[in-house]
Amino acid sequence: MIHRTLGRTGEKVSVLGFGCMRLPVIDRQRDRIDLPLATAMVRYAIDHGVNYFDTAFGYHGSAFDKPGESEVFLGQALQGGLREKVLIATKLPHWLVKTREDMDVILAGQLERLQTDCIDCYLVHGVGGEAWTKVADLGVCEFLDAAKADGRIRYAGFSYHDVPAAFTPIVDAYDWDFCQIQYNYMDVECQAGAAGLAYAAGKDLGVVIMEPLRGGRLAGRIPEAVQALWDKAPAKRTPVEWALRFVWDDPGVSLLLSGMSDMQQVIDNIEFAERAEAGPLTEEELALIGQVREAYKSRTAVGCTECRYCMPCPENIDIPGVFSTVNSAALYGDLAADLELYEMFVGDGRWARASACVECGQCEEACPQKIPVIEEMAKAARLLDAQQ
């Protein structure tokens, strides 16, 4: 297994990290992890050099305000001497934090569930500009300093979900050890993007990549036009290996996380990781990946740039989020996966359904792309809310 340095921490981490958000489950119930299979997967990974395991408060849970089963599982799976061989990463759910004291209470519960007295890599989970302002005002910097000082955590980081412009101010707001960003060959300008990756790496932060396969969409139903492009490459690789190699190609990347759901995925990804030296892609191969990107983009259903000028919606619809879901389904052909994420965000009341649109027209007046939002929202409602 190839290892890289996790930024200023000096820790040597496997270029493949094990994400514990998509573990195998029983009867498609997210809060019922298949414990024997998942444990075998974790131990196989450790035996083959994987030493970074990422979980979070709510992974494999039934609600975002309650602990999921992932932390409990990982704590148990690492018993018998395995804990000392790996770095554990978990996250502070900022949406549950109302006071400075809440941070300590949440961390205490995570230490208990993970059966450890110290979490190696502790992240503020999924922050953007607004969320960061909230937790910063509540004293998260003081909390992280105190947790590092008394040994409850070793390294402090954050995972990021927001527009590109909000990323660098968060990087500069605290003396972070590492960050975690979404990055793949389709998302070079999305969220932190390539520019954010370079900025964080230039500040000597470790950079952990999530969603290198865009939630599996770059590995699933490959459109014929895309597969034809892969087939013409001199190097014969699966779409999964092409996607992972694109991320590993950047020397600023410390490791990528793969949320593996079966043993074959573990075996395959470890094999790919053993060939993951930085800089192996040729100019011709990078150009090919660019052609694949454009082939996917040609399938876009709604020309939304997610500028968010249409927000806030009076009916509390996340208009860019709805169109992003519609576009993802069009690009990658995995509507079931997109519906799962959609239901996650509307199911707990954070956002209203697409069908809640009252056709007020405020969004259309604000849209610089002149998208017929009312018409497209009606189409989205038929696609996403048909089962309701």
Question: pLDDT digit string (tens) for 79-103?
Answer: 999 999 999 999 999 999 999 999 9
For tokens 């996380």, the residue is 257
How far is the C-alpha of 260 from the C-alpha of 62, rounded, in Å? 20
Residue 68, pLDDT above cutoff 70 = yes
Question: Average pLDDT for residues 232-256, to the nearest whole number?
Answer: 94
Is-above-0.95 flag for pTM? no
Show the beta-strand stretches assigned E in the chain.
3-5, 12-14, 16-19, 25-26, 29-33, 52-54, 87-92, 119-127, 153-160, 178-182, 206-210, 255-258
Short-list 3, 6, 2, 1, CA closest to 200: 6
Question: Average pLDDT for residues 219-242, to the nearest whole number?
Answer: 91
Q: What is the pLDDT of residue 348?
A: 67
Q: Which residue has the higher pLDDT, 307 or 374?
A: 374
Q: What is the pLDDT of residue 138?
A: 97
Peptide bond into 67 cis (omega under 30): no
With 0-12 CB in 10 A as exposed, 13-18 as middle and 19+ as buried, what is 283?
exposed
Question: Average pLDDT for residues 268-275, to the nearest whole number?
Answer: 93
Token pair in block for residue 33: 């992890």
Short-list 126, 146, 118, CA closest to 56: 126
How far is the C-alpha of 145 from the C-alpha of 88, rounded, in Å? 19
Q: What is the DSSP letter of 22?
A: S
Q: What is the pLDDT of residue 353?
A: 92
- The CATH code that applies to domain 3-290 is 3.20.20.100
Domain ranges, ordered by start, for the chain: 3-290, 319-384
How far is the C-alpha of 98 from the C-alpha of 293, rounded, in Å? 41
Token pair in block for residue 61: 């849970």
Q: What is the pLDDT of residue 334?
A: 83
How far is the C-alpha of 327 from the C-alpha of 362, rounded, in Å? 22
Q: Which residue has the higher pLDDT, 63 or 178?
A: 178
How far is the C-alpha of 278 from the C-alpha of 334, rounded, in Å? 31
CB atoms within 10 A of CB 184: 22
pLDDT category at 295 given cuts 50, 70, 90 is: very high
3-state per-residue secondary structure call for 227-253: HHHHHCCCCCCCHHHHHHHHHHCCCCC
With 0-12 CB in 10 A as exposed, 13-18 as middle and 19+ as buried, what is 114?
buried
Residue 388, pLDDT above cutoff 90 = no
Q: 228 and 222 in contact (C-beta within 8 Å)?
A: no
How far is the C-alpha of 343 from the C-alpha of 346, rounded, in Å? 5
Residue 263, pLDDT above cutoff 80 = yes
Residue 64, pLDDT above cutoff 80 = no
pLDDT tens, residue by residue, 135-151: 999 999 999 999 999 99
Q: What is the pLDDT of residue 275?
A: 86
Query: What is the CA 22 to chain-centroid distance, rounded?
Result: 11
pLDDT tens, residue by residue, 353-375: 999 999 999 999 999 889 999 99
Residues in the chain, total? 388
Token pair in block for residue 240: 């999964």
